[in-house]
């Protein structure tokens, strides 16, 4: 080569790449060592009971499987039509709320006054229609719970629901949001085809997952099963929509109703996904029509029983 030609490249491409991304010039924020995680791992081990979450007092068998109710998780509940999903999730959330878990309820299937009546009956442990003179006492005690209700009813725009969740969770430091149910936020736009509904559902589920992570808030979402369900028990694949809902969920609960298939069948609550500990299983639950409860909690016989053993922690 002639003398007039100058070589501008003084390093090999590999050397240039190493220099550009050298840890001497740019801090590596996408990599950590065990030492960075050591304190967090220690807390996970030394405080395993607290990490496991709030324990249910009415559903001891659920504690054995899920260990507890933890912030930042997404729980999906499904079950056949008429199996009692709303009544169950009402008691399931009431149990936690009575322990101080600040709860925001979104019921699109039944009106707030009907939902509140169900929860008040579960709270008192009996139907107040037969003890109307006790209403004020139980209502005053129920009013002490950190419980809030969305004002929506019927099909709703998901954007409105999510906005309500964000505003209320920030204002009241909400720890648990209950949505009953997912289908009421699908198909509210101009396009309501099945494909569009699946696409919408994936967007909604992704937004709920993001909300859980950002707000460190637990969301319990009721989802109906597919209409083409078989005569056997429901499975994760029975849940309406695509696979995203089962992929994003930390916990999946299925209310199995074998009364629909066998004369002496019973209801069972089945845990089919548990990201925290991996424990799966099912246990029978019986519905008490007098108390509107699925738990085996003893009935409240009279106002004299009061609710002295109900602890409203954190209030």
Give the DSSP per-residue string, the chain. --TT------S-HHHHHHHHT-TTTS---S---HHHHHHHHHHHHHTHHHHH-BPPSS-HHHHHHH-SB-TT-EEEEE--TTS-HHHHHHHHHHHHHTTT--EEEEESSS-HHHHHHHHHHHHHTS-GGG-GGGHHHHHHHHTTS-EEE----SS--HHHHHHHHHHHHHHHT--EEEEE-GGGGSS-SS---HHHHHHHHHHHHHHHHHHHHHHT-EEEEE-PBPTT--SS---GGGBSS-THHHHH-SEEEEEEEGGGTSTT--EEEEEEEETTT---EEEEE--BTTTTBSS-PPPP--GGGTTTT---TT-
- Structure confidence at residue 297 (pLDDT): 58
**182-196, 253-267, 280-294: range with highest mean pLDDT:** 280-294
Judged by phi (left if over 0) then psi (alpha if -120 to 50, else beta), residue 53 lies in: left
pLDDT at position 212 over 80: yes
pLDDT at position 26 over 90: no
**Regarding predicted confidence, which is higher, 156 or 67?**
67
Burial label for 258, CB within 10 Å (0-12, 13-18, 19+), is middle
* Other residues' Cβ atoms within 10 Å of the Cβ of residue 232: 10
pLDDT at position 214 over 90: yes
Residues 105-148: tens digit of each pLDDT? 999 989 999 999 999 999 999 999 989 999 999 999 999 999 99
Q: Is the pTM of this model over 0.85?
A: no
CB 255 within 8 A of CB 81: no
Q: Report how far residue 223's alpha carbon sits from residue 241's, in angstroms, rounded to the nearest whole number.
A: 9
With b for 16 or more beta-carbon neighbours within 10 A and e for fewer, the 65-88 pattern comes to bbbbbbebbbbbbbbbeebbbbbb
Residues 144-177: tens digit of each pLDDT? 999 999 998 888 888 999 999 999 999 999 999 9
- Structure confidence at residue 51 (pLDDT): 78
**Length of the chain as a residue count:** 315
pLDDT at position 46 over 60: yes
Q: Report how far residue 76's alpha carbon sits from residue 285's, in angstroms, rounded to the nearest whole number.
A: 18
Per the listing, tokens 């740019």 go with 26
pLDDT at position 48 over 60: yes
**Regarding predicted confidence, which is higher, 37 or 29?**
37
Query: Regarding beta strands 176-180 and 218-222, do their DSSP bridges make them parallel or antiparallel, or are they unpaired?
Result: parallel
């Amino acid at each position: 080569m002639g003398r007039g030609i100058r070589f501008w490249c003084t390093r090999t491409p590999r050397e240039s790449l190493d220099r550009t991304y050298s840890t001497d010039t740019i801090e590596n924020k996408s990599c950590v060592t065990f030492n960075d995680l050591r304190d967090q791992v220690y807390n996970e081990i030394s405080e395993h009971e607290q990490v496991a979450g709030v324990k249910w007092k009415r559903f001891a068998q659920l504690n054995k499987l899920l260990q507890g109710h933890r912030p930042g998780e997404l729980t999906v509940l499904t079950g056949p039509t008429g199996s009692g999903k709303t009544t169950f999730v009402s008691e399931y959330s009431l149990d936690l709320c009575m322990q101080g878990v600040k709860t925001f309820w979104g019921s699109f299937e039944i009106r707030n006054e009907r939902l509140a009546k169900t929860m008040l009956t579960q709270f008192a442990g009996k139907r107040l229609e037969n003890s109307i003179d006790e209403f004020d006492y139980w209502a005053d005690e129920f009013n002490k719970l950190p419980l809030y209700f969305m004002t929506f009813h019927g099909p709703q725009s998901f954007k409105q629901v999510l906005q309500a969740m964000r505003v209320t969770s920030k204002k009241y430091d909400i720890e648990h949001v209950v949505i009953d149910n997912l289908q009421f936020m699908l198909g509210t736009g101009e396009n309501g085809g099945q494909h569009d509904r699946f696409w919408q559902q994936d967007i909604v589920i992704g937004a709920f997952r993001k909300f859980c992570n950002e707000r460190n808030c637990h969301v319990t979402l009721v989802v109906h099963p597919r209409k083409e369900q078989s005569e056997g028990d429901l499975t994760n694949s029975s849940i309406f929509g695509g696979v995203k809902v089962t992929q994003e969920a930390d916990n999946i609960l299925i209310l199995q109703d074998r009364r629909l298939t066998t004369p002496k069948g019973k209801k069972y609550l089945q845990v089919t996904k548990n990201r925290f500990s991996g424990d799966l299983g099912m246990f029978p639950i019986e519905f008490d029509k007098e108390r509107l409860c699925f738990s085996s909690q003893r009935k409240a016989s009279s106002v004299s029983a009061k609710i002295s053993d109900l602890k409203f922690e954190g209030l």
